[in-house]
Structure 1
Amino acid sequence: MEPILRLAGPADAEAIRALTREAYAKWVPVAGREPLPMQVDYEDAVRRHRFDLACLGEVLAALIETVPEGDELLIVNVAVRPAFQKRGLGVRLLRLAERLAAEAGLSGTRLYTNKLFAENIALYRSLGYAIESEEVQTIGVRVNMVKPFAPC
């Protein structure tokens, strides 16, 4: 089944929260705490950021949250419901974000993840993201990754 992509609205906030909590639950034992996306006020986030949703039938299967930041598009969150992981939905949404950034004339995309989430870092690297820096924070080490677009 091919996913239907659509923009989120305020009525989607609770479904976004539920999907995000489900998708990030596997990282709680790794990080020893709830990852930040599990703690977000999604009613507020849906008003301030763009959310693209991937639906399979009536089920919200995946999402990507983006916001312009300087001359790049920040990927704040990409989450896939566990039952739909390993089907390429997350990659498809990352490619969508890259296309949106290019169409907006931005210089690239950026994202961040926890250093303990090695599986995510490997995936992002395989898609052309490079580690720009690491930041030691009170909640762990944040890995900042960027994917600049090739000059025309």
Structure 2
Amino acid sequence: MEGVRVAVEADLPEIRSLVADAYALYTPRIGRVAGPVLSDYAALVQQHAVHVLEDAHKIAGVLVVIEGEHGFLLDNVAVRLDAQGKGFGRRLLEYAETLGQRKGYEVLRLYTNEVMVENLALYGRLGYVETHRIEEDGYRRIYMKKRLV
């Protein structure tokens, strides 16, 4: 997808700042910092799990997808505050779905915190269905999936 690329080490300061800003509004709702803010982005970049969407030579969005024993997991999607409402989040989700299909996965999984009602509504509109709820690492998470084939 145009504008989306695998992140490199030089992107780390911008990635960390963008993610922290994007999730800041959820801190009061959750009662603590959102999980994605605490992720080890240096390690994730080394694993080629982080993708960035650029707009006007700045990172407008961050996507983290992880391949593992449970399949293809969308671990994080975040959009820069001043870039929200421009469809970048949807573009990153579409990119994740396309990437999953190219890698041969039949399902894309994701999770979100139960208080992130805006995200839950968006995922539902895009065809994701809830699979289960769990408390994990002190966060109340809702897991969802979408068939890719």
Q: Under a length normalisation based on structure 2, what TM-score does the superposition of the two structures give?
A: 0.92
Cα offset for 1:29?
Answer: 1.1
| Rounded Cα–Cα distance in structure 1 between residues aligned with 2:137 and 2:12 | 28
Identity %: 34
- Distance in 2 between the 1:138 and 1:69 partners? 19
Q: What amino acid does structure 2 have at the position aligned with 1:98?
A: E
* Corresponding position of 2:19: 20
Post-superposition shift, 1:138?
A: 5.5
Which 4+ stretches in 1 moved above 3 angstroms? none
**1:130-150 deviation digits (Å, cap 9, x = unpaired):** 000000235231100001223
AA of the residue aligned to 2:77: V
Q: Distance in 1 between matches of 2:63 and 2:85?
A: 16
Task: Look up the SS of the partner of 1:132 in the other structure.
Answer: strand
Give, as a single letter, the amino acid of the residue that structure 1 aligns with 2:127. G
Q: Distance in 2 between matches of 1:6 and 1:137?
A: 30
Letter in 2 for 1:102: Q
The question of 1:66 aligning with 2:94 is answered no
Match in the other structure for 1:82: 81
Aligned pairs (5 A) from 1:27-42 = 27-42=26-41
Q: Which amino acid aligns with 1:8?
A: A
Q: CA deviation at 1:128?
A: 0.5
Residues 133 and 71 (structure 1), Cα distance of their counterparts in 2 relative to 1, 3 Å cut: closer
Aligned equivalents of 2:133 and 2:48: distance in 1?
24
Give the whole-Å Cα distance in 1 for the aligned partners of 2:106 and 2:74.
Answer: 14
> Structure 1 residues 71 and 114, CA, compared in 2 at 3 Å: closer, same or farther?
closer
**Counterpart of 2:114?**
115
| RMSD of aligned Cα (Å) | 1.5
Paired residue secondary structure (2:33):
coil
Distance 2:146 2:103 in 1: 15
Deviates more, 1:44-53 or 1:114-123: 44-53
Alignment CA distance shift 1:102-1:112 (3 Å): same
2:7–2:48 CA contact under 8 A, matched in 1: no
Which runs of 5 or more residues in structure 2 are unaligned?
none
Which residue identity does 2:97 align to in structure 1? E
